[in-house]
């Protein structure tokens, strides 16, 4: 029997396997193995795929890069399970906001590096550096959600203020290190958000992936579990938290 047999006389919008139902498929699967169902099969396929994909994690990578890698593998599983979504309406605005933060961080890094060079030429004494600081929204308890949203938008649209800071060589070096780390995190966040804009990671993570795989991976590669699972999932998967790091699905 070929696929042509199933499409004879059917229109493009009609189902190919029109006589197949979930219940009939599950009845057939149970004949092959007690308890086997389409969901069990899908769960196994998703979990074993994630387990195999995560084996290529680089041990020496930073936590940020490990999280980017994990999300990329989770994306592959979500695509396998056809867990897709339409492009979120707020995606463009979110990407623009992240780009603004990233540009601000890069400008601050360049200013710090200029200040460090100046400080070194003066024997490490304090120098003036100028930071562009964007005003924070003023949120009051009596505001409703609309007013709070408007206040946040107002703050985002406001021009940054120039703030002068006096820093010695040691302070400049610490701030440069912190600024570089912040830039790496923002770049990773922007990349992840753009990569996953049309993929629903939550569906596979909540319903189809064995949480023990993720818990073991986090322990094995020293990634805080709360970076992967939100509080609700930490509660939902409390039973999996004692999984040993050597666990294999």
Please give the positions annotated as active site: 208
Tell me how far CA of residue 8 lies from CA of 2, 5, 178, in angstroms: 11, 6, 64
Closest CA to 47 of 207, 235, 224, 246: 207
Tell me how far CA of residue 194 lies from CA of 81, 99, 103, 125, 189, in angstroms: 20, 12, 17, 43, 9
Side-chain-facing half-sphere of 138: CA atoms under 13 Å? 1
Say how far apart CA 214 and CA 16 lie, in whole Å: 36
Say how far apart CA 133 and CA 118 lie, in whole Å: 22
């Amino acid at each position: 029997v070929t696929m042509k047999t199933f499409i004879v006389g059917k229109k493009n919008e009609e189902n190919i396997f029109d006589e197949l139902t979930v219940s009939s498929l599950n009845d057939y699967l149970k004949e092959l193995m007690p308890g086997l169902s389409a969901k069990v099969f899908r769960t196994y396929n998703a979990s074993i795929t994630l387990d195999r994909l995560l084996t290529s994690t680089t041990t020496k990578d930073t936590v940020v890069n490990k999280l980017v890698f994990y999300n990329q593998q989770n994306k592959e599983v979500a695509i396998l399970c056809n867990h897709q979504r339409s492009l979120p309406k707020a995606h463009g605005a979110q990407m623009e906001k992240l780009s603004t933060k990233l540009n601000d961080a890069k400008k601050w890094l360049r200013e710090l590096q200029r200040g460090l060079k100046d400080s070194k030429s003066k024997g490490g004494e304090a120098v003036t550096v100028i930071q562009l600081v964007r005003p924070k929204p003023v949120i009051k308890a009596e505001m409703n959600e609309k007013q709070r949203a408007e206040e946040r938008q107002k703050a985002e649209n406001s021009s940054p203020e120039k703030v002068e800071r006096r820093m010695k060589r040691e302070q400049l070096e610490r701030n440069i290190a912190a600024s570089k780390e912040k830039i790496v995190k923002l770049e990773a966040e922007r990349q992840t958000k753009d990569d996953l804009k049309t993929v629903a990671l939550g569906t596979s993570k909540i319903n189809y992936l064995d949480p023990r795989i993720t818990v073991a991976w986090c322990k094995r590669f020293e990634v805080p579990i709360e970076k992967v699972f939100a509080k609700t999932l930490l509660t939902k998967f409390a039973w999996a938290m004692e999984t040993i790091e050597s666990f294999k699905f």
